[in-house]
Amino acid sequence: MVVADLLAAGGGGWDNSKVRSIFLPIDQQRILNMRVGRAETEDIWLWDLERNGEYSVKSAYKALVGLGEGDEGSSDRTTEKRLWNQIWSMRILPCVKIFFWQFCCEAIAGEGVSGSGLPELDNREAEKFVVGIWAVWEARNEAVFEGKEVHVGKVVARVLYLLKEMEESEVVVVGKGDKQDERTGFRRDGKEAKWQKPRQGIVKINVDAGVKEGEGMGIGVICRDEEGVIKWGWAERRRGEFDAQVAEVEAMLIGLQWAKRRLVREVCMEGDCKALIEALKHRQALRSEFHAIIEEILSLCHFFKSCTWSSSSRKSNTVAHELAHLCKVGGSLLFDD
């Protein structure tokens, strides 16, 4: 049996009844959630354990070790992945991130402290915790190797200084002349960042996706014209388990498909997933489910007179975000002017 044997006769996707009659319930929804490629797309081998789709000994070894540990190993890997993602997304110095990563891997000796509690902290508190551990480690090294006297007050002051310095320096450009903190959605002058109108004759479509365990994937799409008037919107929630980044690119594809149905000619697609916008702008061609959908989006662009990509903050993408969390599992809503 090959994949083609499980597809509907008209080429419209999976043959639902055939999939459910052959596979166990645990596998059925996973298969049905997979996107079926376009007819002209060449079949390729993909390694699901790597983001780029390429096989690696490292990921294969981790998978085999996890199988040997049973369900507990799978749970541990999920927690570990969440921890790594939280560390690398922190707004702190790169050297501090690397230190804490080594600390969690036990490459640096330490007793009584670990990163296992980080997922329970919000971003700001986690950053304070990590910078605090690093500052204590630095003070310890100065005392042991340089014979310096350690003062608790100085260690605390150093932590607060580093956090303040990073807070003031990390701004990104979103729209013309607006310097804005990507995570909080506030500009350096303290004013809240707002959604930016597109140029005359262009509509802007904002998209967002939300993935929650047990609640599937939510998708939100909102279309506004050059005056900021809402033309239409779409919300849906699908059953199953989804990767967060795949959900974001799926939302972008759905937004573009709706634009095509509505005969939009010039469109600016906007979302708050930077990795997605960068992949679209640079036309990345890698082997993964994420990049397969990127390829489908790029092929769809030929329908439009112009199609551009824009990255937004979470604050200025609020409407699409709310729509992504609006529906119950299996539900969908269309808003029309």
Range ranked top by mean pLDDT from 4-18, 94-108, 132-146, 150-164: 132-146
User: Length of the chain in residues, anyone?
Assistant: 337
Residues 217 and 256 reside in one and the same domain = yes
- Residue 114: what pLDDT? 54
Say if CB 36 and CB 7 are below 8 A apart: yes
Residues 121 and 209 reside in one and the same domain = no
Q: Give the pLDDT band (50/70/90) at residue 117.
A: low
Share of the chain above pLDDT 70, in %: 77
Residues 96 and 155 reside in one and the same domain = yes
Q: Where are the alpha helices (DSSP H) in 70-194?
A: 71-88, 94-104, 123-146, 152-169
> Which amino acid does the sequence have at 4?
A
248 part of a folded domain: yes
Residues 128 and 220 reside in one and the same domain = no
Residues 264 and 322 reside in one and the same domain = yes
Check pLDDT > 60 for residue 50.
yes
65 part of a folded domain: no
* Domains held by the chain: number: 3
- Residue 207: what pLDDT? 96
76-88: average pLDDT: 70
Check pLDDT > 90 for residue 60.
no
Residues 238 and 331 reside in one and the same domain = yes
Of 22-31, 60-69, 119-128, 274-283, the poorest mean pLDDT is in 60-69
Tens of pLDDT, residues 121-154? 777 788 888 888 888 888 888 888 888 888 888 8
46 part of a folded domain: yes
Q: Give the pLDDT band (50/70/90) at residue 175.
A: very low
For residue 323, what is the domain's CATH number?
3.30.420.10
Range ranked top by mean pLDDT from 25-39, 71-85, 275-289: 275-289
Tens of pLDDT, residues 155-166? 888 888 777 766
- Residue 13: what pLDDT? 80
Other beta carbons within 10 angstroms of residue 219's beta carbon come to 27
Of 23-37, 125-139, 294-308, the poorest mean pLDDT is in 23-37
Share of the chain above pLDDT 90, in %: 22
220-239: average pLDDT: 93
61 part of a folded domain: no
- Residue 53: what pLDDT? 75
Mean pLDDT of the chain: 79
Domain boundary at 169, 189, 224, which?
169
13-31: average pLDDT: 85
Residues 33 and 98 reside in one and the same domain = no
Describe the crossing of helices 71-88 and 94-104 by its angle, rounded to 10 degrees.
Answer: 160
Of 16-30, 199-213, 222-236, the poorest mean pLDDT is in 16-30
E-strand ranges in the chain read 172-173, 179-180, 203-212, 216-224, 230-238, 266-271, 306-311, 332-336
Residues 43 and 157 reside in one and the same domain = no
184 part of a folded domain: no
- Residue 230: what pLDDT? 93
327 part of a folded domain: yes
Residues 86 and 51 reside in one and the same domain = no
Alpha-carbon distance of 212 to 214, in angstroms, equals: 6
Q: What are the phi and psi torsion angles at 114 (to 5°)? A: -150, 175
Of 98-102, 235-239, 259-263, 286-290, the poorest mean pLDDT is in 286-290
285-306: average pLDDT: 84
10 part of a folded domain: yes
- Residue 266: what pLDDT? 94
Residues 37 and 87 reside in one and the same domain = no
Q: Which domain holds residue 281?
A: 203-336
Residues 89 and 24 reside in one and the same domain = no
Residues 34 and 82 reside in one and the same domain = no
Q: Give the pLDDT band (50/70/90) at residue 98.
A: confident
100-125: average pLDDT: 66
57-76: average pLDDT: 65
- Residue 25: what pLDDT? 82
Alpha-carbon distance of 155 to 170, in angstroms, equals: 23
Check pLDDT > 70 for residue 12.
no
162 part of a folded domain: yes
74-89: average pLDDT: 68
Other beta carbons within 10 angstroms of residue 337's beta carbon come to 9
- Residue 188: what pLDDT? 43
Q: What is the sign, positive or negative, of the torsion defined by CA atoms of 109, 110, 116, 120? A: negative
